[in-house]
Amino acid sequence: MKARVAVLAGDGIGPEVIAEGLRCLRAIAGLFGHEFELTLLPFGGVAIESHADPLPESTLSACLAADAVLLGAIGGPKWSAPQAPLRPEAGLLRLRAALGTFANLRPVRVHAALADASTLKADVVQGVDLLFVRELTGGIYFGDKHRDAERATDVCSYTAAEIERITRVAARLAQSRRRRLTSIDKANVLETSRLWREVCTRVVAREFPDLTLEHMLVDAAAMHLIRAPRDFDVLVTENMFGDILTDEAAMLAGSLGLLPSASLGEGRRGIYEPIHGSAPDIAGRGIANPYGTILSVALLLRLSLGLDAEAGALEQAVAAALGDGARTPDIAPAGTRALSTREAGEAVISRLQRPG
């Protein structure tokens, strides 16, 4: 098949991990006979420097014309001052809104070979396989904002329609897994959470009676993720809570660098990115973990391009590399040799096999 992928390498370690993701995409294309048109585009801090805009119109147009978007990471100290007129994150919010990617999927699986990489005990994290579904285009990140010298305000707002559509996404995914859905909110304090709980309950009861639905307050969920993470199957939550909890959940797997994500809308086009940030402290050193990016490429293949066998082959190659001890510094045991970013990518590519 032929497909167009818009590539937004971004800032910090973004270009380093994206380079390995692209090598894997090209390897898949060669192995399975596909043709992928990969277009590198300015985005984030580097786009502020070159275009005075974190999301130039030319970049947005190319993303809208692509079959999928592959994103590295954005941001850094250069653009994070409180008075900064332009921020990379503003471009990301605009991109999500423009592409209508309201559902962010963040799978958390603990590879058997990496149980020792987590800061938690192995018997706590072994067998963890959960999926966060985070609402991505509403809530406090998109609400009205105001700040002066004495006061700042960020408005958190949700409509019933926004809650209904993200609940349906999460519920359909739960039906394909273990049929357990946990909705996370702060309904004891927030009116938006009270509406969230009410709408979620109604949608599941009417449309997904085969599911077991549980409501959990966000603080209790944060504790339960550390105490008994295997209890969870699919978790659905609003924007800010999902942002925070998925970073916490990454520690179950051992590193932020291991986890992929997919941001989807009503169609097949999505934005695919590892959940980590730009990590400016290690940028340029060649030691960033590319596995989250490579697994995001697998999600891109499966969800936007419909190439399930190819996605599975890439995921199996990652699992084989990790099983054989191919680890970057963030997950390497003390006293063992850690691989560079490129070496980790090569470890995956060398294990790629066409099924059958």
Average pLDDT value for residue range 133-146 = 94
DSSP H or E run through 269: none
pTM score, whole prediction: 0.93
Report the half-sphere exposure of 165 (CA within 13 A, side-chain side): 16
Angle (CA) 212 190 243, round 5°: 70
**Gap between the Cα atoms of 128 and 40, Å rounded:** 35
State yes or no: pLDDT of 355 exceeds 90.
no
Q: Express each pLDDT in 166-219 by its tens digit.
A: 999 999 999 999 999 999 999 999 999 999 999 999 999 999 999 999 999 999
**What pLDDT, on a 0 to 100 scale, did the predictor assign at position 117?**
86
Q: Which residues are catalytic?
A: 141, 186, 219, 243, 247
Which one, of 147, 248, 239, 243, lies nearest residue 192 by Cα? Answer: 239
Tokens of 313: 């082959």
**Gap between the Cα atoms of 260 and 250, Å rounded:** 10
Domains of the chain with bracketed CATH: 1-103+256-356 (3.40.718.10), 119-253 (3.40.718.10)
Q: How confident is the model at residue 51 (pLDDT cuts 50, 70, 90)?
A: very high
**Gap between the Cα atoms of 247 and 74, Å rounded:** 16
End-to-end CA distance of the chain: give it in Å, rounded.
20
Q: Identify the DSSP state of 275.
A: S
**What pLDDT, on a 0 to 100 scale, did the predictor assign at position 88?**
96
**What pLDDT, on a 0 to 100 scale, did the predictor assign at position 231?**
97
Residues in the chain: 356
Cα dihedral value 43, 48, 54, 60, nearest 10: -60
Identify the residue whose tokens are 């940030």. 277
Q: How confident is the model at residue 356 (pLDDT cuts 50, 70, 90)?
A: confident
SS3 of residue 215 by DSSP? strand
Contact 317, 353 (CB under 8 A): yes
Q: Express each pLDDT in 205-254 by its tens digit.
A: 999 999 999 999 999 999 999 999 999 999 999 999 999 999 999 889 98
**Gap between the Cα atoms of 137 and 143, Å rounded:** 10
**What pLDDT, on a 0 to 100 scale, did the predictor assign at position 251?**
86
